[in-house]
Structure 1
Amino acid sequence: MNTLTEYETYIISALAQGANIQEVKKVLRHFGQKPDSVSSIEKKLKELKKKFDCKTTFQLVYELGRYVVEIDVEEILK
């Protein structure tokens, strides 16, 4: 069974709640997750797409929806 790290969970959760990559970076910083650079996030997404056999980020978020945790992205971005 595949599980996600806390880092991966925050990325998928932020994307599921409508955040773009720049906003995901801020969410990761808010929760003290490293690395939080745009390129690190993009590399992690590429890795996850390959691991879960997904072609798009949308498909990845859909497939991993069961791992999404509720975070208040709007509040974090203020």
Structure 2
Amino acid sequence: MTETNIPPVTDHSIKRLRRSRTDRKLTGVCAGIGEYFDVDPNIVRIAAVLGAFFTGGTLILAYLAAALLIPES
């Protein structure tokens, strides 16, 4: 048998998308996305507002769905 050098999976190595409880403006979705992708949450918020404007409000529905589906941290 050959031995593999695969490290064990721990809870600290798994990234989970969660809504933020501490850095929230409305529901914490943009802050949670920012934390997940290691991006400043303000950039995500600006992108969400611009995206809502350019998609005719469709992104607002996606934001509301994310607020319902993504659990809090």
Higher helix proportion, which one?
1
Q: RCO greater where, 1 or 2, for CA within 8 Å and sep 6 or more?
A: 1
Rg larger in structure? 2
Q: Judge same fold: TM > 0.5, yes or no.
A: no
TM-score normalised to structure 2 length: 0.39
TM-score w.r.t. length of structure 1: 0.38
